[in-house]
Amino acid sequence: MSDTNKKATLTVGDKTFEFPVLSPSAGPDVIDIRKLYGSTGMFTYDPSFTSTAACDSTITYIDGEEGVLLHRGYPIDQLASKSHFLEVCYLLLYGELPNGTELEKFESIVTNHTMVHEQMHRFFTGYRRDAHPMAIMVGTVGAMSAFYHDSTDINDPHQREVASIRLIAKMPTIAAMAYKYTIGQPFVYPRNDLDYASNFLRMCFAVPAEEYQVNPILARAMDRIFTLHADHEQNASTSTVRLASSSGANPFACIAAGIACLWGPAHGGANQACLEMLREIGTVDKIPEYIARAKDKNDPFRLMGFGHRVYKNFDPRATVMKESADEVLDLLGIEDNPTLQVAKELEKQALADPYFTEKKLFPNVDFYSGIILEAMGFPTSMFTPIFALSRTIGWISQWKEMIEDPTMRIGRPRQLYTGATMRDYVDVENR
């Protein structure tokens, strides 16, 4: 971020005010209005903050018009194709790709922190068996601060580092435990001889009665899902984590706040909504009917998993995710799964329809990730928890960046008040 010679001029009545214009390394210039209220006595009005830069960051850059997503400058398709999740975690957390020694050390540290405190197992018996896994994750992650007192001091760089590693390492274990609890199976402990994605799959699908072998194609697909959801700039849940952390809250509480925000169907529940739509369509022969409904402006039905609010061209994550979806479906077969049959045919018909291609309504990452998770055997209730464990590295990196910013202050959005003005209290007998 740098100052430019340009100034933005605001005229209010007969008074003129000038504000600096700042230039990022990529993306549009921004008007620095930090002194707006002091200079003019006025606020700006920007519901949902869609035109407001609330922070400066070096982590992730998105160009929605061009379909670009960069992590520390590296294109997401290159990272997803050539790298793996823990290497991307290192990149997001520390700013650069690790060398071989650094990566090996980082993987070892994360792997050796995957177990959770044994007393945390008792938490799960307090939940109903039909509790949503996201409800369990919000409560359990928030409660981690009650167990790990040696990593809650945000002013201590070492404690921040330990908290970061613990959250990255333990989130898959907690998500898998939430899943096992809801289906009535015993918890499966992590193993240090498995990679991150394989460990998660084993903790979800292994049972004590028999040996479980992780299929490398499924593990690779799972790793890509983690990678493609690692961070996505200043979205709703990331902004929630930043706002919570601005108060000085401990990192476990901040990440729990992010999980709670991600739970919303407009955010982390998009791939679940996509699978529910595919089940509503039901059979391949009904696809033309639903495509016609999607084109009808008077019909509330919309094709979920197509298009994206940020990407106005194509979702750069979708191409890599589609490769994994094809590999997984080829491995597992879709002949006996009507939902996946509908997904493949819907993708084919939508991509051949000028209505969708002209409007840039291509299948996005949620469409393909939902297909993969369904094929692997995950219920839709686990889609958002998997998203949460993937996004934890993004939240932690953004949290760490914010805490280390010397200009950080507690967040305090303003409002346009439209309620009653001052009035006198009326005693109840006179109302």
CB atoms within 10 A of CB 59: 21
CB 203 within 8 A of CB 409: no
Q: Tokens for 333?
A: 């077969």
Which residues contact residue 149 at a Cβ distance below 8 angstroms, ignoring those fewer than 6 apart? none
- For 411, counting Cβ atoms within 10 Å of its Cβ (0-12 exposed, 13-18 middle, 19+ buried), the class is middle
Catalytic residue among 195, 223, 315, 366: 366
CB 237 within 8 A of CB 258: yes
Residue position matching structure tokens 């290159």: 78
Which residues contact residue 238 at a Cβ distance below 8 angstroms, ignoring those fewer than 6 apart? 231, 232, 258, 391, 394, 395, 398
Catalytic residue among 71, 84, 232, 308: 308
Beta bridge partners of 306: 363
Reported residue count of the chain is 431
Cα separation, 18 vs 236, in Å, equals 31
CB 255 within 8 A of CB 400: no
Cα separation, 242 vs 212, in Å, equals 39
Q: Tokens for 242?
A: 């930043």
Q: Tokens for 419?
A: 């309620």
308 as an active site residue: the answer is yes
366 as an active site residue: the answer is yes
CB 208 within 8 A of CB 186: yes
Cα separation, 182 vs 407, in Å, equals 44
Residue position matching structure tokens 């700013």: 95
Return left, alpha or beta for 19; rule: phi > 0 is left, psi -120 to 50 is alpha, else beta.
beta
Beta strands in 32-184 (DSSP E): 60-63, 68-71, 74-75
Catalytically annotated residues: 308, 366
